[in-house]
Amino acid sequence: MASVALYYNKASEWKKTLADGTEVIRTCAWSPPGCHGVGCGLRLYVKDGNLVKVEGDPEHPITKGRLCVRCLALKEYIYHPDRLKYPMKRTGRRGENKWERISWDEAYDIIIAKTREIAAKYGQESIIVFCGTGRQAVRFQYALATMALGTPNVCYSQSGWSCKGPRDTACLYLLGAGYTEFDYAAGLPGRYDDPEFVLPKYVLLWGKEPLRSNADGTWGHALIEMMKRGTKVIMADPRMNWLATRSEHVMRLRPGTDTALALALLHVIINEGLYDREFVEKWTHGFEELKQRVQQYPPSWAAEVTEVPEEQIIEVARILGTAKPWGLCMGLACDQNPNGVQLTHALIALAAITGNLDVPGGTVVGRPMVMDFGSNAPLPQELMDKVIGQKEYPALALLLNTTHPDLTLDTLETGKPYELKMAWISSTNLLAPTNSAQPKRWYDALRKLEFIVATDTFFNPTIMALADLVLPLSTFAEHDGIVLNHQGGTMGIIGAINKAIRVGECKSDLEIVMELGKRINLEAFAGEKWENTEKYLDNELKYLGMTFNELREKVCVQQHIQYYKHEKGLIRPDGQPGFNTTTGKIELYSLMLEALGEDPLPYYEEPRFSPVSRPDLAREYPLILTTGARNYAYFHSEQRQIPSLRELVPDPLVEIHPETAAKLGIKDCDWVWIENLWGRCKQKAKVTPIVKPNVVAAAHGWWFPEKEADAPSLFGVWEANVNCLIPHKEIGKLGFGAYYKSIPCKVYKAD
């Protein structure tokens, strides 16, 4: 790995004691409570071992004191009366709220005995680890599965791996690189005033709202800073959100038709000759083929398909073809679409042919991950060959070492190709409408398992329904760790997570893996790095030539951004200039896609259940449902029990246009049913012109900690469960992308 230039503020010490004995600890945030690894700076005030105050750290190089409400509510979360503080063993039936406190020793003994018994009876592959989105647990899920439990099966259960899977696939196949993101100068010491930085003229936000989501390490407020300095925003979004009202263009497309719009933009740029000839000639493969392909997709056609006016498509294309630099910011709407790999393919092509890839103020090409994910003890090949769905969907296997989500449900239901018997649920509450489609099927299928362990901070519907044993997790204020925004892929910071307090007997994901690992498979965990947390973190930081204690002292360091990495030989492992693809160029015509039996060029697929594909369905279900647009109060299914956050968003809201609401006799704040052929749920109507008349936008992640815990209620988990309406296994050809953001429905007033 090339040496990395680091910068840090020679700021205050990481810990100091005030005159009254209060300690102030500077730290960087991750999880729990859930957030992606963004690493915002906090000051934690601790008096007599208790957290008494949280504020933003003005000395953090990026956040400079800014914090979201979720971090500001940390104290409420940590000391909530329902917080899990001790290992708990179920004493009643599954679904009954009956538990007893046990010791960690007893918990580990039970887990080890069960793991050994089940593996001996049914094979190691009968064990499966479930995980959710990029919280700290993702760093340890492979070590937990392969090294401690001896199974190759790690499952991220969202249908079609519809989060980052398609975006990462296109980045890997076209560029041979990690995830790309718009440049916001995160790794430059002078930030926007740094001599290396150029302010983007535009940022193209495609199905992403970074102010609310700060997704995968992107700081939304950076965009606002750049807008203040003159950056303009163009959006592709069916909803008119706050950012949209401040954008120069909002292409308000029909949900799910994104690829048609992106292809039409390419059509205009290519046919009007607005691309960067020199870059295309030197660094891309397959431009002529792409040019041929986009002839099928003129803006007049796209206007009909997408509902975006033809003139607007042409105008946006001309801006993107002439304004330099501009940054590309792709969001979740690129993934939650079976046509999403083709969409991200087209968008990366757009950034590439206009000469905006890896230039200052453009789109930063991601480096490969810099840290290992702990799985340094591969299992025997015959076990690895058993990972569910790897044969059916090899593209997924190339990208990630996980099972295929939809095929995992099939396996649970059918026992084919083998029976699953034990699960470890870590960082997912999949029955709540998050990492599932058709959650009632997951519920029935998982109930058949012999033994289920979960780790979490609170009881939730999934644990109440399924777990036999629960291990209590510490929050990021209660343990040491490291956080890298974008997991170290694209740019930015490396932050120390500094332990400030202790609560009950809670432990971190790392501590649990380490302790269990040494008891169950000492050989695999014998190495020095597994001795204790500090040694493990030291090992992770080796590539920077720094120990954890040194990072702790600095609290947060910036990692220099490198531009023009393809020219400097910083993308390919052989150190040669170019991209890490077969041709060494950006493969607009992708040889990887071709080898996998997919079309090597981007194409449009009309959503399978749309009014165009299925006019028969449209009569009964005339509206298009999009789900899950993020809000400030919650990270997925988390925080519903935190009073100050619940006050911000007390109910699950479905946005309905005033004209549509009037036709349906629905008033603001009425409870309504949202229904389609796969299921229904109840949410509260928010009558608002921010959605188009033919679109409704519903919330995901809802359950009600205040409602009855025992089954069948399970904290009311089925009531507002929008994933009951999302079909199973309606995914893209490579196995990626499902219809979470474009599925037909009808809406009617509930009694």
Ligand X SMILES: Nc1nc2c(c(=O)[nH]1)N[C@H]1C(S)=C(S)[C@@H](COP(=O)(O)OP(=O)(O)OC[C@H]3O[C@@H](n4cnc5c(=O)[nH]c(N)nc54)[C@H](O)[C@@H]3O)O[C@H]1N2
State the residues that interact with Mo ion by CB under 5 A. Answer: 133, 163
Instruction: Give the residue with the Cβ less far from ligand X, 152 or 210.
Output: 210
Q: Which of 68, 262, 397, 556 binds ligand SF4 (CB under 6 A)?
A: 68
Instruction: Give the residue with the Cβ less far from ligand SF4, 67 or 745.
Output: 67
681 exposure class (CB count in 10 Å sphere: 0-12, 13-18, 19+) = buried
- The least distance separating ligand SF4 from the CB of residue 216, rounded to whole angstroms, comes to 11
The residues of the shown chain that bind ligand X, judged by CB under 6 A, are 31-34, 36, 132-133, 135-137, 158, 163, 206-210, 212-215, 236-239, 241, 255-256, 258, 331-333, 426-430, 432-435, 455-457, 460, 473, 509, 626-630, 632, 634-638, 700-701, 722-723, 740-742
The position carrying tokens 């899920």 is: 141
Are 99 and 89 a contacting pair, CB within 8 Å?
yes
The position carrying tokens 């439990």 is: 149
Strand partners, 624: 695, 744
Q: One-letter amino acid identity for 378?
A: P
Instruction: Give the residue with the Cβ less far from ligand SF4, 38 or 397.
Output: 38
From the list 66-74, 82-90, 275-283, 508-516, the region that binds ligand SF4 by CB under 6 A is 66-74
- The least distance separating ligand SF4 from the CB of residue 22, rounded to whole angstroms, comes to 22
Q: Indicate which of Mo ion, ligand X, ligand SF4, none lies near residue 593 (CB less than 5 to 8 Å, by partner kind).
A: none
- Tell me 723's DSSP state: G
Are 155 and 403 a contacting pair, CB within 8 Å?
yes
Q: Which of 67, 234, 432, 690 binds ligand SF4 (CB under 6 A)?
A: 67
Instruction: Give the residue with the Cβ less far from ligand SF4, 38 or 687.
Output: 38
Are 585 and 285 a contacting pair, CB within 8 Å?
yes
- The least distance separating ligand X from the CB of residue 726, rounded to whole angstroms, comes to 6
- The least distance separating Mo ion from the CB of residue 114, rounded to whole angstroms, comes to 31
Rg for the chain (alpha carbons), in Å?
A: 25
Sequence-ordered list of residues with C-beta below 8 angstroms from that of 425, at least 6 positions apart, any chain = 130, 452, 453, 454, 455, 462, 463, 466, 467
29 contributes a contact to ligand SF4 by CB under 6 A: yes
Q: Which of 6, 24, 25, 35 binds ligand SF4 (CB under 6 A)?
A: 35
Q: Which of 543, 151, 532 is nearest to 378 (CA)?
A: 151
Instruction: Give the residue with the Cβ less far from ligand X, 459 or 589.
Output: 459
From the list 63-71, 282-290, 376-384, 676-684, the region that binds ligand SF4 by CB under 6 A is 63-71
Would you tell me how many other CB atoms lie within 10 Å of the CB of residue 26?
25
DSSP 69-110: HHHHTHHHHHT-TT---S-EEE-S-TTS--EEE--HHHHHHH
- The least distance separating Mo ion from the CB of residue 163, rounded to whole angstroms, comes to 3
Would you tell me how many other CB atoms lie within 10 Å of the CB of residue 684?
17
Q: Indicate which of ligand X, ligand SF4, Mo ion, none lies near residue 629 (CB less than 5 to 8 Å, by partner kind).
A: ligand X
- The least distance separating ligand SF4 from the CB of residue 720, rounded to whole angstroms, comes to 23
Question: How far lies 459's CA from each of 31, 456, 639, in Å?
Answer: 17, 7, 12
Are 673 and 664 a contacting pair, CB within 8 Å?
no
Q: Indicate which of Mo ion, ligand X, ligand SF4, none lies near residue 459 (CB less than 5 to 8 Å, by partner kind).
A: none
506 contributes a contact to ligand SF4 by CB under 6 A: no
214 contributes a contact to ligand SF4 by CB under 6 A: yes
Instruction: Give the residue with the Cβ less far from ligand X, 164 or 585.
Output: 164
Q: Which of 44, 71, 107, 666 binds ligand SF4 (CB under 6 A)?
A: 71
The span from the CA of 470 to the CA of 107, in Å, is 9
Which residues contact ligand SF4 by CB under 6 A? 29, 35, 38, 40, 67-68, 70-71, 214
